[in-house]
Amino acid sequence: MMKISWRSSVLIFGVGFLIAVGAAAASESVAPKISFVRSEGTQEIPAPVPEAPPPVEHIRTPDAVRGIYMSQCAAGTPSFRTSFLKMLDETALNAVVIDIRDYSGKIAFPTENPVLKDMVSDECGARDMKEWVQVLHDHDVYVIGRITVFQNPAYTKLHPEQAVQKKGGGIWKDKNGLAFVDVGAKEYWSTVVELSKESYGLGFDELNFDYIRFPSDGDMKAAVYSFGAGKSKAEALEEFFKYLHENLEPLGIVTSADLFGYVTVHDDDLGIGQILERALPYFDYIDPMVYPSHYNSGFAGLKNVNSDTYKVVAVSMNTAVARTVATTTRNVFLGAVAIASTSPQLYEKKSYPASAMRPWLQSFDYPVEYTPAMVAAQIKANEDAGLTSYLFWDAANKYRSLRQVLAPPAVDR
pLDDT of residue 29: 32
- Residue-wise pLDDT for 272-316, tens only, equals 999 999 999 999 999 999 999 999 999 999 999 999 999 999 999
pLDDT in tens, 343-354: 556 778 999 999
pLDDT tens for residues 232-272?
999 999 999 999 999 999 999 999 999 999 999 998 999 99
Cα 130 to Cα 202: distance, rounded to the nearest angstrom:
5
Average per-residue pLDDT in the chain? 87
3-state secondary structure (DSSP) of residue 242: helix
Q: What phi and psi values does residue 199 have, to the nearest 5 degrees? A: -65, -40
Is the pLDDT assigned to residue 337 strictly greater than 60? no
Separate counts of helices (H) and strands (E) for the chain: 12, 14
Pick from 43, 98, 58, 61: nearest CA to 76: 98
DSSP string, 29-50: TTS-SS-EEE-SSS-EEEPPPP
Q: What is the pLDDT of residue 269?
A: 95
pLDDT score of 163 more than 60: yes
- What domains sit in the chain, N to C, each tagged with a CATH number? 60-406 (3.20.20.80)
User: Residue 53 has what pLDDT?
Assistant: 59
What is the model's pLDDT at position 12? 36
Quote the pTM value.
Answer: 0.85
Burial of 77 (0-12, 13-18, 19+ CB in 10 A): middle
pLDDT band at 332 (very low <50, low <70, confident <90, very high): low
Q: How far apart are CA 115 and CA 111, in angstroms?
A: 9
pLDDT of residue 229: 84
Q: What is the pLDDT of residue 125?
A: 92
